[in-house]
Amino acid sequence: MSFCPPIEDSGLYSAIQTRQLDRCAIEQHAIAGFELMKRAGRGAYRALRQRWPEATRLTLLCGGGNNGGDALVIAAMALEQQLEVQVLLLGGASARVALTGEALEALRWAESRGVRVETYSHEQPLRGDLIVDGLLGTGLKGAVRGDCLELIKRINSSGKPVLALDIPSGLCADTGSIQGVAVRAALTVSFIALKPGLLTHEGVNCCGELLLDRLGVPDAVFAAFPTQRRVIGTQHRQQTLPRRLRAAHKGNFGHVLLVGGDRGMAGAIAMASDAALRAGAGLVSVATRPGHVNLVTANRLEVMSHGLSSGQELEPLLPRATVVAIGPGLGQSVWSGQLLRVVQDTTMALILDADALNLLSQGPWLEPGPRANWVLTPHPGEAARLLGCSVAQIQADRFKAVNQLQQRYGGVVVLKGAGTLIADGEQIRLCARGNPGMASGGMGDVLTGVIAALVAQGLSLFDAAVTGVDVHADAADRVAQRMGERGLAATDLIPEIRHLLNPEQIWAAVDSTD
């Protein structure tokens, strides 16, 4: 039984799509449903023993569906290895009678191997060293109610580690929203395919460590149900970053023009320019308030800094640029609006972030309709303003939100947050990297600079956004691993980003195809 890390270009399948995969494996490839259940139970048990080798007592909580059947398989395996097993079946006195299909088969199979199944009641203690959550699966519709609601609260307040089977009970498989209450697991083993909700919104808080077990389902099954939603893998960098020829000059790597830095916000545009330079742009220019020119130049001598008093003064700088990024520290003043109005008239590649997005949501900047030449990088608050809705609505279904943004504004949209999403209207990529240390000022400014630099070097808008988001989050994880999440600053990422954009394996991979 092999486990796949979720960051390695795995497809993301909705609950309905996953059931289609399951049905195809059963009907087209002659894998019995109970055989898949046994594979799930065995794989999860192996993960349990690897994670908690000292555990001697298990409490397995079973619902009436296939997740409960998976838990029963684990119970039988644990009993064979002489662990103490407590199996509690939720659903009252009629729970056993209500079981059907593979879940009923699993009950009979487990009991034939000595497993004793009790009906759950509020009075029963949860005796295990750890808890196996087999209560609710991906078919949950509506809020958790009744005994299950009470039991999940008991699980979360028990202080005991939890292994969740396929998905933490109470979590929406498609959106990552909590349906009233959800199990907080230390480890989740997802079966057959990754569900989007495991990797975005509240899913990242509920899943703990995440493993994927494909249960030996043949590749042909996945080929029969292709998905345009995938997790970003490191191979994306290897496939998209261009090799630098020995005779190259700075003109080969583009000219990034960064626009922003209203009064009191010079640091934002300075960080963005530093990131663009370190991410490989051949030339980097900054258009900012006149009073900020010296600060930007002192921060990075290689950056050309121009002081602007009005939008009109920006026009002569545009023909020299390959890509324009506007937003870091832009503000929402008259000066800010003038700069955005000049920039939005150009046909070259644009990156819009921060207050450029806020201005976009307020004024008539989108005429005559969606445009193909820009990347928008909103966080949930900015996304809500762009769509005229609440942040809660954005977070309730981030996949829906990023699609709506792309349909309304065109181009490529990067919806930042836990499980950042990148959409271009045909495909979506999810970033499974990143950590809470990134919740600090300046992170978006650095990302803007990186994406702009990658566009300047010849990457498509989509590839630049995907690679930029990936290396930005990867850099944050690497720095946090060395120094901790608390106190992580945006500028800490820049040296690591440079390193990640220059890995030896990229050149080795290219050389092997020459």
Q: Is the dihedral angle over the CA atoms 382, 383, 387, 390 positive or is it negative?
A: negative
How far is C-alpha 263 from the chain's CA centre?
34
Distance from C-alpha of 300 to C-alpha of 285, rounded to nearest angstrom: 11
pLDDT recorded at residue 364: 73
Backbone dihedral region for residue 193 (phi beyond 0: left; psi -120 to 50: alpha; all else: beta): beta
pTM of the model: 0.94
The pLDDT value given to residue 366 = 67
Alpha-carbon span 331 to 219, nearest angstrom: 50
CB-side exposure of 166: number of CA atoms within 13 Å?
34
Q: Which residues contact 185 (CB under 8 A, 6 or more apart)?
A: 133, 162, 163, 164, 168, 206, 207, 208
Q: Rounded to the nearest 5°, which phi and psi values hold at 209?
A: -70, 140
Secondary-structure breakdown of the chain: helix, strand, coil percentages, each rounded to the nearest 5: 45, 15, 40
Q: Is the peptide bond before 242 cis (omega within 30 degrees of 0)?
A: no
Given this model, what pLDDT does residue 1 score?
41
The alpha carbon of 404 is separated from its chain's Cα centroid by a whole number of angstroms, namely: 18
Q: pLDDT (tens digit, 0 to 9) for every residue of the chain, 514 residues total?
A: 445 555 578 999 999 999 999 999 999 999 999 999 999 999 999 999 999 999 999 999 999 999 999 999 999 999 999 999 999 999 988 889 899 999 999 999 999 999 999 999 999 999 999 999 999 999 888 899 999 999 999 999 999 999 999 999 999 999 999 999 999 999 999 999 999 999 999 999 999 999 999 999 999 999 999 999 999 988 888 888 888 889 999 999 999 999 999 999 999 999 999 999 999 999 999 999 999 999 999 989 999 999 999 999 999 999 999 999 999 999 999 999 999 999 998 999 999 999 999 999 997 766 667 999 999 999 999 999 999 999 999 999 999 999 999 999 999 999 999 999 999 999 999 999 999 999 999 999 999 999 999 999 999 999 999 999 999 999 999 999 999 999 999 999 999 999 999 976 444 444 444 4
Please tell me the predicted confidence (pLDDT) of residue 93.
81
In terms of Cβ atoms closer than 10 Å to its own Cβ (0-12, 13-18, 19+), residue 345 is exposed
pLDDT at 290: 97
Burial of 366 (C-beta count, 10 Å sphere; 0-12/13-18/19+):
middle
Predicted pLDDT at 368? 64
Tokens representing residue 378 in the block: 């909103």
What is the C-alpha to C-alpha distance for residues 495 and 485, in angstroms, rounded to an integer? Answer: 17
Cβ density class 444-468: b for 16+ within 10 Å, e for less: bbbbbbbbbbbbbbebebbbbbbbb
Question: What's the token pair of residue 291?
Answer: 């009073």
Question: Alpha helix (H) ranges present in 122-202?
Answer: 146-157
Q: What angle do CA 405, 418, 216 make, to 5 degrees?
A: 100
Q: With H, G, I as helix, E, B as strand and everything else as coil, classify residue 504.
A: helix
Amino acid at 356: A
First to last CA, the chain: 37
User: Could you tell me the CA-to-CA distances from 73 to 80, 95, 119 in Å, in that order?
Assistant: 11, 18, 17
> Cα 512 vs. chain centroid, distance in angstroms?
31
The C-alpha atoms of residue 133 and residue 71 are separated, in whole angstroms, by: 8
pLDDT at 243: 85
